[in-house]
A and B are shown apart, each in its own frame.
Chain A
Amino acid sequence: MQIKQISVFLENREGRLADVCELLGENNINIRALTIAETEAFGVLRTVVDKPNEAVRLITQKGFTANLTDVVAIEVDDRPGGLAAVLRSFVDADINVEYMYGFIEKSADKALMVFRFDDPKKAIELLKSHDFVVVSNSDIQSL
């Protein structure tokens, strides 16, 4: 139910993001989703790739601090109000979203969103009880 996100600590310095992306590219690892949260001095790169374990190993070998984080990728109807409906059900169940971002690809009339919950277990129970389509690690690789 959960997929692996790689989170990387980056200083706000020229070229650090390019360094990570080049490393992934050189090793034939494909980025599926990506976002950066930044402060004045540093940022955290959050990315979903097709080969997370290999990617995190390469990135840490290069001297970056990185880890794997469990996130949930959910299909959201690509229509006005699609995301709002999903979020509303989380609100009603008292589930807090830490952050979220979108996938680069989308399948047909669905958008793919990555969610980071403070309580993933509770979130997954909710997702199961609704008819949300949750994307698995193998789905990510075949995207």
Chain B
Amino acid sequence: MIWNPDIECMSRDELSQLQGKRLRELAVYVYENNRIYKDRFDQIGIKPQDINSIEDITSLPFTTKMDMRDSYPFGLFSKPVKEISEIHVSSGTTGNPTVVGYTKEDVQLWSTVMARSLCCAGAEPGDILQVAYGYGLFTGGLGLHYGGLEMGLVVIPASSGNTRRQIKLMQDFKPRILACTPSYALYITEEMKSMGLDPRQSEWEIGLFGAEPWSDSMRNEIEESLGILATDIYGLSEIIGPGVCQECHLKNGLHMYSDVFYPEIIDPDTGKPVAPGEDGELVITTLTKRGIPLLRYRTRDIVSINYDACQCGRTSPRISKIKGRTDDMIIIRGINVFPSQIEDVLLSIDGTHPHYQLVIERSEHGLDTVEIQVEVEPEIFSDEIKKLRAFEQKVKAHIDSVLSIGSKVRLVEPGTVARSEGKAKRVIDKRNLN
């Protein structure tokens, strides 16, 4: 079923009218309610009244991750804090984390787009949904939860981890839908095999797998091993969390809810739009948010866009799977990681600045592993194993607490980290994600 057919199947002209009207309202709203945006409008000499159609969006300023960090915690809010009803904080960048505040209306919007996503994947009211994304400051768990409640699903808030219990929930309650990261889906599969169960006999029929990039070969593997329709869901906490766009059963691009999250694809260097079908950076404007609405937010994700109507009946534009990043961010088990964070951690330990590299692999049961290789410089070295071990442990503890992922630290000989043109290659990603 289609959750909001009047909007999701709207003609392009009507949609464009609606987007234009909402953009103008948004321009007025942020100008009147947010100091940072007001100053930017004034600086570039535009007035909200200059915005009359969606095409005028190109005259508005971009918003970047840096803006969000610099304005931490409440600088980009357009509502006083007491009118916010939920706050999420994402780690995954150096310096300040990213804060997102939702008003009641924003939570309703989130519920709506997630209900659209669940329907898009094939859910029907009354289906049982097992949410195995983490609940908490990470937006995955609650996003799916709200969407499930909104469209009348039976929600099991399993959260992530405790895999044997997940399997028991599946056996006992027979949920039709599973929502988790794709790597966790593979991990569950392995666990079922090790328990002597046949994953193909699982009750799940549909999966909403997201929060990390995954390839088509990984999709095939999940579909074959679990006997499930594996769909891709995309989102980011700055915009709303999960529910920015979702694949339908045809798996031919992710339907973007452009009536509320307006996409532009730009050349990251020039900021100019690229043609449909061309790769570029995805830029999103939250047309209707109230707590922390963002103008032209640069996601740094590289995608292409397709405006043709889909055979599923939806007319919303579809974006491709994420093809890459404009920065060096990597996603490990759904957590955003920047190599510079690792650098900061190493620097904070004994003030050493060793050569290091991250080696990321996807184990055969689907979970990403990250190994941090640190070259043993004389300052780190000791003739005593226990001191080297202690250093290893210290690095691990620091990195695990900053990145909230379990890492492995490996001490290596000098010269291990390849140096090219004086600049070391910091990340060896062996996962074949694209």
Residues of A that sit less than 8 Å from B by CB? 5, 7, 9-11, 16, 37, 39, 41-42, 44, 46, 63-67, 69, 98-99, 116
Contacts of B411 in A (CB 8 A): 9, 41-42
Encoded as 1 (CB less than 8 Å from any A CB) or 0, chain B from 377 to 393 comes to: 11011111100110000
A116–B383 touching, CB < 8 Å: yes
Contacts of B384 in A (CB 8 A): 44, 98-99, 116
Contacts of A16 in B (CB 8 A): 413
With both chains docked as a complex, state the minimum distance between the C-beta of B308 and any C-beta of chain A, in angstroms: 53
Encoded as 1 (CB less than 8 Å from any A CB) or 0, chain B from 270 to 309 comes to: 0000000000000000000000000000000000000000
CA distance A11 to B375 in the complex (A): 10
Contacts of B377 in A (CB 8 A): 65
With both chains docked as a complex, state the minimum distance between the C-beta of B382 and any C-beta of chain A, in angstroms: 8
Contacts of A5 in B (CB 8 A): 383
> With contacts A5-B383, A9-B376 known, is A44 near B410, CB below 8 A?
no
What would 12 more interface pairs be, CB under 8 Å, given A9-B413, A64-B413? A9-B411, A11-B413, A39-B388, A39-B389, A42-B388, A42-B411, A44-B383, A65-B380, A65-B414, A67-B378, A67-B383, A99-B384
A65–B378 touching, CB < 8 Å: yes
Name the residue on B nearest A13 (C-beta). Answer: B413
Contacts of B196 in A (CB 8 A): none
Name the residue on A nearest B411 (C-beta). Answer: A42
With both chains docked as a complex, state the minimum distance between the C-beta of A41 and any C-beta of chain B, in angstroms: 5
CA distance A16 to B384 in the complex (A): 19
**Contact of A41 (CB < 8 Å), options: B381, B410, B414:** B410
A69–B378 touching, CB < 8 Å: no
B412 adjacent to chain A (CB < 8 Å): yes
Instruction: Indicate the size class of the contact surface on chain B.
Output: 10 to 19
B80 adjacent to chain A (CB < 8 Å): no
Contacts of B413 in A (CB 8 A): 9-11, 16, 63-65
B412–A11 touching, CB < 8 Å: yes
With both chains docked as a complex, state the minimum distance between the C-beta of B371 and any C-beta of chain A, in angstroms: 10
A65–B376 touching, CB < 8 Å: yes
Which of B376, B382, B388, B413 has the most chain A CB atoms inside 10 A of its CB? B413
B351 adjacent to chain A (CB < 8 Å): no
Name the residue on B nearest A10 (C-beta). Answer: B413
Which of B382, B385, B415 has the most chain A CB atoms inside 10 A of its CB? B385
Contacts of A99 in B (CB 8 A): 384
Contacts of A39 in B (CB 8 A): 385, 388-389
Name the residue on A nearest B380 (C-beta). Answer: A65
B385–A44 touching, CB < 8 Å: yes
Encoded as 1 (CB less than 8 Å from any A CB) or 0, chain B from 393 to 434 comes to: 000000000000000001111111000000000000000000
CA distance A11 to B411 in the complex (A): 8
**Contact of A69 (CB < 8 Å), options: B383, B385, B412, B416:** B383
B383–A64 touching, CB < 8 Å: no
